Amino acid sequence: MKETQAHQIEKDLKINYGPNKKFITVCAGTGCRAYGSLKVKEALEAELAKQNMQVDVLATGCLGFCEKGPMIVIHPDKYFYHSVKVEDVPEIVSKTIAKGEVISKLLYRDPDTKKTLFREEDLPFYKKQLRVVFGKNGMLEPTRIEDYLAIDGYQALGKVLSEMTPDDVINEVKKAGLRGRGGGGFPAAVKWEGVRRAHGDPKYVIANGDEGDPGAYMDRSLMEGNPHSVIEGMIIGAYTVGSNEGYIYVRNEYPLAVTHLTLAIEAAKKMGLLGKNILGTDFSFDIHISKGAGAFVCGESSALFASIEGRAGEPRAKYVHAVEKGLWDKPTVLNNVETWANVPLIINKGADWYASIGTEGSKGTKIFSLVGKINNTGLVEVPMGTTLYEIIYDMGGGIPGGRKFKAVQTGGPSGGCIPESLLDIPVDFDKLYEVGSMMGSGGMIVMDETSCMVDVARYFLAFLKEESCGKCVPCREGVKRMSDILEDICAGKGKDGDIEILEEMSKAITDGSLCALGGSAPNPVMSTIRYFREEYDAHIKEHRCPAGVCKALITYSIDAEKCTGCGLCAKVCSVRAITGEKKKAHIIDKDKCTRCGACIQSCKFDAINVK
């Protein structure tokens, strides 16, 4: 009975965007929205109506290639247009939609081969990716549950409820080797088993969507672009551990994710996929959304529970684990958004398939956000074990402006900076830890020769000082002291012995802090000292910032040979430090100059030197 009902609902709802159907998808992720993709969508709809054409236009979630937004894909030919403007719309409709002709200026040109590429999968950015979790974003409108059902959504849930016992699910997830995508990489099945066997009622299932690592936005794109995949994973998890109530904890900064998740929960309830007696079985489960209020530490499990309970997000000592006493001291499964989104995939395709992807210790794929000084900013999903080089150069297209790569920062404020010599390491949980960084939630911030590594360490420690909840002394006082020392070094007040003090304090803070925020806070400092000690020495001993970032240690000057005397720099200088006659080389008054960088940004001749 269970089985027929589960399958029937899915069958009834299946909509066919079949292989020959004409429709357009417009990327409506946060990046593309900011570039104006919703206006492009409106213009497409208006133009189609004007030309009397019945073609669906879908506003999908993030397609990942955020550098080139707004992006649209025209089906069934799957032509991929990027950087589309409203002005391009009439031509798109009259040529591509009506006649199937491509518009070459909107197609992607490979910067290396200069070849024009027609489809998403041909682009170097996408070619080496394996987008089994994230790729579905492009196939659905996140506000319509029907679209998710059309791509086999909720089939995994149907299978679990009709064919599998909770132990079967645990075994399958264990066999798949799924590890938590939030940073720690703890095996998901072990956590689930712990909660299933734990005494205490009710039990809770939580999705951690408090993506606090600056420079990471894959969870945002999943919650916004494919909310049902997260919800489906949670329902399966709830069935497995025996929970009837769950929460999705979403960052305050992600309003669109909250909207889409809310709509998705309502839609799932209406279809009997969530709420009482799911798919006609006697299993019931409901999900609430809890919004964060801007505190990085709330990504930590016990702080997150405190926040859901309506208190300040202060972590507590973990003598007893969350699987025994979590939210309201009840057994709780807390997994990251991306982890939950992997669950339906494992059930649908099987543990063997899943475990065939990745490395020995890290299975499946991982979504990374490739940002910073990189040509192709965006989200990439790759099999675990892909090398940093492949991600940064093959997909990311290398460093802009012909500048030299310096480091890639992974793992957010708990992670570290990895130098060029280690670009060949395969990326997985264990390897990143080995080189002094960590996976974190998957942010990869690329830095080039114009990024100062001491400044980066200072930046992270200032961040952590601000975000430390203040409960335990090593973190509250220790991180503050480390941050002060780094501020001094960047201000040219570094002293001999500072590096040694930083190293000593790092150890004490790591050993003595209550939670992972403090425990990993010294990582950005330790890894930069380990790999870029010469930059620290240059700051402390020579009062020099080799990258030209630390304001107190640099001066601006104008290269008289390159300067054409156009006067633009003098115009933008807010302190009037630049003078000179028209068409003659200008000069900068070093005493007045605040080194704000406005002149560099305005100069078209690269005539401003920073030393």
| Separation of alpha carbons 446 and 377, rounded Å | 10
- Our CB check for another protein shows the closer of 212 and 358 to be 212
- Our CB check for another protein shows the closer of 178 and 526 to be 526
| Separation of alpha carbons 336 and 233, rounded Å | 11
Shortest approach of another protein to residue 445 CB, angstroms? 5
- Our CB check for another protein shows the closer of 251 and 366 to be 251
First to last CA, the chain: 76
Q: Where are the beta strands (DSSP E) in 134-222?
A: 204-209
Residue in the structure block whose two tokens are 């919004």: 291
- Our CB check for another protein shows the closer of 170 and 218 to be 218
Shortest approach of another protein to residue 571 CB, angstroms? 9
Shortest approach of another protein to residue 310 CB, angstroms? 4
Shortest approach of another protein to residue 266 CB, angstroms? 17
Shortest approach of another protein to residue 535 CB, angstroms? 15
Instruction: Specify whether the CB–CB gap between 14 and 158 falls below 8 A.
Output: no
What is the phi/psi pair of residue 498, to 5°? -60, -40
Shortest approach of another protein to residue 313 CB, angstroms? 7
| Separation of alpha carbons 558 and 563, rounded Å | 7
Q: Is 264 exposed, middle or buried (0-12, 13-18, 19+ CB in 10 A)?
A: buried
Shortest approach of another protein to residue 481 CB, angstroms? 22
| Nearest residue to 139 via CA among 128, 147, 131 | 147
Q: Where are the beta strands (DSSP E) in 241-319?
A: 245-250, 286-291
- Our CB check for another protein shows the closer of 33 and 181 to be 33
- Our CB check for another protein shows the closer of 81 and 305 to be 305
Shortest approach of another protein to residue 576 CB, angstroms? 13
| Separation of alpha carbons 19 and 35, rounded Å | 30
Helix (H) or strand (E) holding 25: strand 23-27
Query: What one-letter code names the amino acid at 588?
Result: I
Shortest approach of another protein to residue 454 CB, angstroms? 13
Report how far Cα 427 is from the mean position of its chain's Cα atoms.
16
| Separation of alpha carbons 70 and 80, rounded Å | 11
Tokens of 304: 């997150």
- Where helices occur in 23-144 by DSSP H, the ranges are 30-35, 37-50, 89-91, 98-99, 124-127
Shortest approach of another protein to residue 314 CB, angstroms? 8
Q: Which string of DSSP letters, residue by residue, matches 207-237?
A: EEE---STT--HHHHHHHH-HHHHHHHHHHH
For 38, 121, 143, 254, the CA distances from 22, given in Å and listed in that order, are 20, 19, 20, 32
- Our CB check for another protein shows the closer of 37 and 96 to be 37
For 3, 67, 296, 367, the CA distances from 301, given in Å and listed in that order, are 36, 33, 12, 22
- Our CB check for another protein shows the closer of 28 and 357 to be 28
- Our CB check for another protein shows the closer of 192 and 531 to be 531
Tokens of 409: 């920062």
* Binding-site ranges for another protein (CB under 8 A): 30-31, 33-35, 66-67, 69, 211-217, 220-221, 252-255, 290-296, 307-314, 369, 371-373, 377-378, 409, 412, 443, 445, 447, 451, 456, 459-460, 463, 467, 469, 572, 574, 594, 596-598, 601-602
- Our CB check for another protein shows the closer of 35 and 536 to be 35
CB atoms within 10 A of CB 148: 25
- Our CB check for another protein shows the closer of 191 and 330 to be 330
Shortest approach of another protein to residue 513 CB, angstroms? 18
